[in-house]
Structure 1
Amino acid sequence: MTEASSPESLEDEHRRIAGIDSPDLLSEARRLDAADPLAHHLNSFADAPGVTAYLDGNSLGRPLRDLPEKVGAFIRDDWGTRLIRSWDEQWMELPMMLGDRIAEVALGAAAGQTVVADSTSVLLYKLMRAAVTARPGRDEIVIEAGNFPTDRFIAAGVAKEAGATLRWVQPDAVTGVTVDDVAAVVSQRTALVVLSHVDYRSGALADMPAITRVVQDAGALMMWDLCHSVGVVPMQLDEWGVDIAVGCTYKYLNGGPGSPAFAYLRTEHHGAVMQPIHGWWGAADIFAMGPEYAPVAGIRQLLSGTPPVMSMLAMQGMLDIIAAEGITAVRAKSISLTDFAVRAYDALLAPLGVRLLSTRDAAHRGGHITIGHDSFQEVTQRLWADGVIPDFRFPDGIRLGLSPLSTSHEETLHGIHAVRDALA
């Protein structure tokens, strides 16, 4: 540019560099980012060369910038120097200590009810099977027809093992499961109801306390899948009377690919809801090596085999950040991001025939929105090649996963612009 460039042309140049040609939206994004009390955390995450917009934090969170040093220290000191002594010094209690930390920071739950162990799938199986066994004489499992495949597959397997029947909830695809949907299918035959707190497709947020009450009034146990809500949506598991919950740690808790899941089991169910995989880590005396399995009394009973200690490292830094800022502040930023994404959709994508597949009501929406178009599978491939990373969901949906601590409003706008340009 020349020295004679006007303020208007300077702003045009800034927009050109950012790849954004909607001045009103860009001004709004920058205003929101300037007022964002969590904006200083954007630099806490590792850079991804070539990526200009990462809109998939609801599927895999970004690593924290200091993680390589923490992993190096673990290998050098905890493992490499202390060797097997680290089991006695810190690792034996880590599944329970980290479970308590997640409970305190993100679940609204007291200590002694949450443990980190296994994958989400394994914990879902353990607790579904245990719950059905704990309700003898009841022979139905209720689950949403569009729930995440793992939840449905495992529920079907447990039903087959236990001689039970699946009853399907058929909710609205955009607004998700309601209290009335659940009330219409639970009965005296219901042993267990399994639902997702946030729908993995639309982002619809279920009314956890009200649905839990309906299920318990029918005499059944309530299990919540928290994979798309933990770390981004506040909840009060103790206050709301939740029986059982399972969630992953690699989305909004940024634990890394394949990081272990956690399970919550309300104290009153300890000793009654007994998980079926009887490994040595769930035994009353781990090192007794006795002839028969005798379960420990507390939450450690949900463990089976040796916990994946190294895979528990990454999430600890993210839990520290959420604890420092508070989950309420994280939720406020999440709502700001998704509301802004909806406004950008209205301006840039709706005129191109793109459908909004999420509710406009932020109070009933989690941390992502979903948009739909027949060409989105091809569009997603083009976006990924250009360094814009959303998430495609069959048959024609793109999820915009806006992790509040690592995503700005301007990055969100850049991603939506890129979708528009790819369609064009």
Structure 2
Amino acid sequence: KELGIKDSPELHAQDTLKGGDYKGDPAVVETMTHGALPAAEWLKNTVGIKYEPHNLFLFGGNSVKRALIPVGQTGTEYITKLSALAQKEKIPVVTGMKAVALIKNKEGRVVGVSCESNGKKYDFYAKGGIILATGGFGANAAMVKKYNPSLDERFKTTDASGTTGEALYMAQKAGAELVNMQYIQTYLICDPISGVIELIADARFDGAILGKRFVEELQRRDVISHAIVDQPGSYCYVLWNDNIGKISNTVKVHPEEYETFTKQGVMHTADNLKEVADFFKIPYDNLKATVDRVSQMAKDGGKDLDFHNRGGLKDLSTGKYYIIKAVPSIHHTMGGVRINPKAEALDKNGKPVPGLYAAGEVTGCTHGTNRLGGNAYTDIMVFGRIAGQQAAQAAQAAK
């Protein structure tokens, strides 16, 4: 309210469904958007997550600024605080353990997980049920190509190396239906060498432009990614100046990226546009024409007459300038286990698989064809809490 932003769970749901081309399950989406604020309050007040004050992001495809940003602007704040809370509550966390199959009892209820570690087999049992929260399959190149052949060997990934999708087949073998597996999202601005996200280039949320502009900088991730792949060489440049750098917390909180990407030669800082053009062998006249056009529209009120940038344009007429080369990388798999609003895994007939719950990227009916920025954390936190509550209630009933 202090920022003058008008938002609601209904508008959030509308944006989410539209952003996924209406392939998401409306009931699941509405559960997520209505659970977003309570989940954020729980994270802040119970887990101890600290958010940047008065700094909301307008991620692509959203109508308004609505994404809360943790201090440091990475997942570290969540991981450290959730780990500390688990330790405080004496919740055992077993590492170095590979899950290989779900265990069912003779009544057909999922009651445990069969695992392996160092050649030995271990079975873990649970009274309330098993919750899958294993993420997607973005780091499994063969699986990605199987479900979406257009995303072939050219694409690296932003995902952790363990995001390989075996739990999806475990769930399927236990009776759960997999849906929307072909919908795989790339993150548009990534390192051409390693594939990791170039977080510093999120300066586009504050006015940075995509080189010789060819798409709105705040469009949906899939739209921008496809537009980049269609460019000669399938890459783009992100350009901003000190006017943007001084107001962008995104630039300020990632000094290590500045050093790393500069050392790799994919990022450069220059006092004038001629140096920028010379470093990456960009036609100077084209670059200057683009910057002059953007700067003039910024001076005329910021309205983007060319690509309708919903955040408004910023003046780029003076340096210092910062430029980084970028490519899309595999980022999020929208498909997975079909669930209902209670986070229960469903079979092909829409019936719950007894004892099996799922939350987050391992599920497949929330985001449709495309996930909006900010909705991954929302998804896992909202449905992770619901799944936990459901399993706890089932455990109580089993006593």
Q: Which TM bucket (shorter chain)?
A: under 0.3
Q: TM-score, normalised by structure 2?
A: 0.26
> With structure 1 as the length reference, what TM-score do the two structures score?
0.25
| More strand as a share of residues | 2
Q: Which has the higher helix share?
A: 1
